[in-house]
Every structure is written in structure tokens, then in C-alpha cells.
Amino acid sequence: MPLELVKEKWTGKINEVTIGATKGEGGTRTSKIVVGGETGLPFLHEEGEMPHRPVVAMEVWDTAPSDWPEVLAAPFKEVMDDPGRWSKKCVEEYGADLLALRLQSAHSDWGNASPEKVSEGVKKVLEAVGVPLIILGPGQDDRDNEVLPRCSEVAKGEKCLFGNATQDNYKTLVAACLADGHSIIGESPIDINIAKQVNILISDMGFPLEKIIMDPTTGGLGYGLEYSYSIIERGRLAALGAGDKTMALPIICRVGQESWRAKEAKAGESDFPDWGAVSERGPLWEATTAVALLQAGADILVMRHPRAVESVRKTIDSLTRKNPLRDSAETLD
């Protein structure tokens, strides 16, 4: 008797979101990225479609990050004070096909830069590289609201992905993205109801759900990862199984930011001789955080270290290869 596999009949589908506009589409990007579109759980190709592979966005700052540990800062030392060169290095040397530009210079502790000044950094990056851009504010409500609209304007037509809108602070960013044709990230603190609420608030302003990406908040490996993991899984099940349209959105995770906070990622060998080489440990801590979140359903991983990025890209390669067993009679070992 042939074995009958248990294949779930999912009814929902995750929205497809495009980042980046090429010349013909009113922008200046040389490529674009589409995420989402899943009709099943991650990488179970025999049961659902995964038309677009999850992507890694390399993180670039508009001011030199003074608090990055040595192992993380080393690859970028020469370019850190110039977001244009930093971006170019990510694309040309590390093959990044998407960048996440973080406007840290606008943070009140990091220089409190004016909207004018910050938007110049955005322009620089747009000119330096052709890949699509994610643009992230410093995460302080007042500063986000001052600088993001100006940055949205200078990137008008480029179909960037802007973030983050939150439950208490979304109106300014939504209005800007609506006017300039960008997509938006809605953030929630590991809470499925708030995630839903944020999506509804944003779409109530006339912003299409089809252009929203969810940031459910990421806990790094060993520092709350399991909470993020389960919230993403629950959201996916609600979207696919229960057909909840307000949860059927792609997911973005700030993997680099969270994993490099961990002591395990950055502590030196002299402090923890039993943990092994920090030059390997740091990037692997980041990569492992990403690999786990991929299994939960992450679509965009914002990452930092080139080795972690490269490794996760390879992992995505292996995971998005169709399952040879279920698609043909061929077996493999």
C-alpha cells in the first residue's frame, strides 16, 4: 500500500511585495526584488509555492557605527564613514542584491543630523548602487518623523521599503510613502494582535496591504529568538490556514542588529576561552539566528557580517532547490 503523505490544504497566500523600480518603471534601479507569494509553509515545496526566495539585505549605516565589535567592523573599516562607498562594497564585493540603509546619523545620540543632511546620504547611496533599498529611520519617533519624509521625497519613484511604522507612530511615514510610491514596514512588539492592528491602521489611511511588510521584532539567538520564531509561525499559520488577509504579509527580521548584541557573538577568546575563535563565532551567531528565522517564515533578513551573509545565501540556495524526491521518482543521497 503506497504511503499517503499528509499534505496540508492551505487556502491563503502571502502578498507579493516589490522593492525597487527600474528606469522603465519610473525609478533608477538596475534591478528589483520581489518577496512573498508563499502558499505554504517554508521550504515544503511539494505542498505549496514559494515563488520568490527569501532575501538577505546587507545593512549600511549613514554614519560610522562606533559600537560595532571588532570582528564585525573589520570588513568595513575603510568605507564606514562613507555610505556610498560602503554600499558599493556590499554590492560589488559581497554580491548584495538588496541594501538596508540605516539613518543612524539622525539619532539624538548619534549626531542628531538634520533632514537635509540625512537625505543627502540617501541620495549618495542611490547614486552609488543600482540595487533596491530599504531605508530605516533611527527608531526614535520624533526624529523618524522629521527625517523620513524628506528621505522619502528624495527617493521618490524608487519604490523603496521604508521603516518602521508602529502602532503609536505611523501617520507621518504612511503619508510620505503614499505620496512617493514606497512600501512600508509595520513593526509590532512580538504580539500578533498588535501586528494585525498596525497593518489595519496603515491600510485605513488608504495604503494598500499589498505594500506592507511586517517586522514582528526579532530576538537574537539566545536572547528571545524563540519568541520571534513562534510569533512568525503563528502569523503564517493564521494567514495560510485561516485565510487572515491582515496577516498575509511578508516578514522582515533585523537579524544583524539583534545577534550582534549577544555576548556570545562578540566576547573575546581571552574572556571565554571555552567558546572558541570569536572571528568564527560572531558571524556564525548571526547566521544561525537567520537560519532559525527562515524556518519560521522570514522573507527578508537584514544582516551585517559578510561571512554570515554569504553563508545564509548558500543556505537559502539549498532550501529553495525543489525537493527532488517529491517532484520526480529520482532518489538522491
Partner 1 sequence: MALTGLDIYKQLPKTNCGECGLPTCLAFAMQLAAKKTSLDKCPHVTEEGRAALEGASAPPIRLVTIGTGEKKVGVGNETVLFRHEETFYHPTGIAITVNDDLEGDDLEKRIGAIQSLQFERVGQRIEINLVAIRQGDNSSAARYAEVVKKVMAKLDLPPILMSSSPESLEEALKVCAEMKPLIYAADSNNYEAVAKLAKDHSCPLTVKGNGLEELSSLTEKISSSGIQDLVLDSGRRDMVSTLSDLTQIRRLALRKTYRPLGYPTIAFTSEKDPFQETAQACAYIAKYANIVVLDGAEPWQLLPVLTLRQNIYTDPQKPIQVEPKVYEVGTVIDKSPVLVTTNFSLTYFTVEGDVEASKVASLIVVVDTEGTSVLTAWAAEKFTAESIASAVKKYTVEEKVSHRKLIIPGFVAVLSGKLEEELPGWKVLVGPRESSGIPTYLKNTWKEVSL
Reduced to 3 states (helix: H, G, I; strand: E, B; else coil), residue 305 is coil
How near is the Cβ of 139 to partner 1 at its closest, in Å?
13
Among 33, 113, 221, 252, binds partner 1 (CB under 8 A): 221
The phi, psi pair for 200, rounded to 5°, reads -70, -45
How near is the Cβ of 13 to ligand B12 at its closest, in Å?
27
Number of residues that bind ligand B12 (CB under 6 A): 11
> Residue 94 carries which side chain, given as an amino acid letter?
Y
Which residue, among 84, 89, 133, 139, has the nearest Cα to 110 in the 3D structure? 139
Binding-site string for partner 1 from residue 261 to residue 300, where x marks contact by CB under 8 A and - marks none: x-xx-xx---x--xxxxx-xx-xxx-xx--xx-xxx----
How near is the Cβ of 181 to partner 1 at its closest, in Å?
34
If you ran DSSP here, which 8-state letter would residue 26 be given? T
- Do the bridges between strand 133-136 and strand 212-215 make them parallel or antiparallel, or are there none, so unpaired? unpaired
Residue 25 partner contact from partner 1, ligand B12, none using kind-dependent CB cut-offs of 5 to 8 Å: none
Closest residue to bound ligand B12 by CB: 224
Phi-psi region of 95 (alpha: psi -120 to 50; beta: other; left: phi over 0): left
If you ran DSSP here, which 8-state letter would residue 302 be given? E
Q: Is 321 in the site for partner 1 (CB under 8 A)?
A: yes
How near is the Cβ of 188 to ligand B12 at its closest, in Å?
8
Which residue, among 96, 144, 119, has the nearest Cα to 305 in the 3D structure? 96
Among 73, 140, 223, 319, binds ligand B12 (CB under 6 A): 223
Among 6, 23, 66, 206, binds partner 1 (CB under 8 A): 6
Q: Which of these ranges, 2-10, 117-125, 129-137, 163-171, lies near partner 1 under the rule CB under 8 A?
A: 2-10
Q: Is 324 in the site for ligand B12 (CB under 6 A)?
A: no
**What whole-number distance in Å separates Cα of residue 146 and Cα of residue 138?**
11
Instruction: State the cell numbers at 231.
Output: 510569533
**What whole-number distance in Å separates Cα of residue 195 and Cα of residue 216?**
7
How near is the Cβ of 324 to partner 1 at its closest, in Å?
7
Residue 104 partner contact from ligand B12, partner 1, none using kind-dependent CB cut-offs of 5 to 8 Å: none
Q: Is 193 in the site for partner 1 (CB under 8 A)?
A: no
Give 62 or 215: the residue with its C-beta nearer to ligand B12. 215
Cα distances from 259 to residues 37, 153, 255, 282, in angstroms, run 27, 32, 6, 8
- Contact set for partner 1, span 24-53 (CB under 8 A): 43-46
How near is the Cβ of 306 to ligand B12 at its closest, in Å?
23
Question: How many other CB atoms are found less than 10 A from the CB of residue 246?
Answer: 18
DSSP string, 233-276: HHHHHHHHTS--GGG-S-BEEEHHHHHTTSHHHH--TTT-GGG-
How near is the Cβ of 33 to partner 1 at its closest, in Å?
22
Cis amide linkage into residue 164, ω under 30° from 0: yes
Q: How many CA atoms lie within 13 A of 21 on its CB side?
A: 16
- Contact set for ligand B12, span 181-220 (CB under 6 A): 189-191, 194, 217-219
**What whole-number distance in Å separates Cα of residue 267 and Cα of residue 244?**
43
Which residues bind to ligand B12, rule: CB under 6 A? 189-191, 194, 217-219, 223-224, 227, 258
Which residues bind to partner 1, rule: CB under 8 A? 2-3, 5-6, 43-46, 189, 221-227, 229-230, 233-234, 237, 261, 263-264, 266-267, 271, 274-278, 280-281, 283-285, 287-288, 291-292, 294-296, 307, 311-312, 314-315, 318-319, 321-326, 331-333
